[in-house]
Amino acid sequence: MIMICSSACLVDTFAVQDPVSLFSHVLGGLRSKSATFADVVHWYDPSSLQSFIVNSRILRAFARTLLEDNAAVTYVLLDTFPTLLNSTPTTVLNIICAMNADMLESQANVSFSFVDGLTQDNLVPLAATLIGYPVAYVPISANQTSFLSGQPLDVYEAMVVPATSCTSSSPSSNQSHTLLKFSCPCLLAETNPELFPERVTKRLQSQFRQSLSSIGSSLLVHHHVEVMDRVAL
């Protein structure tokens, strides 16, 4: 289901010893059984040991959107006082374009690797962009260790629910699946209307409406304000 909604998902609930071999085997088997998985590939980052499952077709379309629309994703620079960037970070665009080029050149491959040496100031906004967050954090350096400590945050949880239960504020756990969970400094929403909670919620629902309706589902977005000692990126 995730792979018809976003260009990618991050594999972060379990770890394996040899992700390239494992995911190559799994995706190769799935491709042999169903054309549904023809566009699904594995991307591995050797620096962070993280894996992404990527829909190459959706990512190609999303890359065009990023190039044409600076507002497709809102990027927040995590300086002492968070600020908005005017456009997609060049490194993020370059990596996504390189990903698309690699996948087009080697369409039979089921696993790819990012260049070694990606640091958090590149990988954090890249991951958020691939996953489909409307707001992406950008660390100011590769060595930054403190993020948004003590700052009020608008926290969003976007859940996939059956269309028949989209009017319920508390669907049962077996009816819902968390698609995205992310945050944005409340301070930025005070001066940037596009970050008002109502607008972010509508933006999410618009982003996923078509793909979710095709499987009889809808998006339910919960919002609350939270202060944390440190935000994990």
> What digits encode the pLDDT tens for the residues 83-92?
999 999 999 9
H or E stretch covering 210: helix 197-213
Burial of 231 from C-beta contacts in 10 A (0-12 / 13-18 / 19+): middle
Does the pLDDT value for residue 4 go beyond 70?
no
If one counts the domains in the chain, the total is 2
Same domain, 44 and 81: yes
For the whole prediction, is pTM greater than 0.75? yes
> What digits encode the pLDDT tens for the residues 135-155?
999 999 999 988 999 999 999
Domain boundaries, position 83: 2-139
Instruction: For residue 204, name the pLDDT band (cuts at 50, 70, 90).
Output: very high
Q: Is residue 44 part of a domain?
A: yes
Q: Is the dihedral of CA 59, 55, 217, 166 positive or negative?
A: negative
Looking at per-residue pLDDT, the higher value among 216 and 6 belongs to: 216
Calculate Rg over the CA atoms of the chain: 18
Same domain, 17 and 56: yes
What integer is the mean pLDDT of 190-199? 95
The SS3 of residue 137 is strand
Same domain, 20 and 116: yes
> What digits encode the pLDDT tens for the residues 103-132?
999 999 999 999 999 999 999 999 999 999
Does the pLDDT value for residue 174 go beyond 80?
no
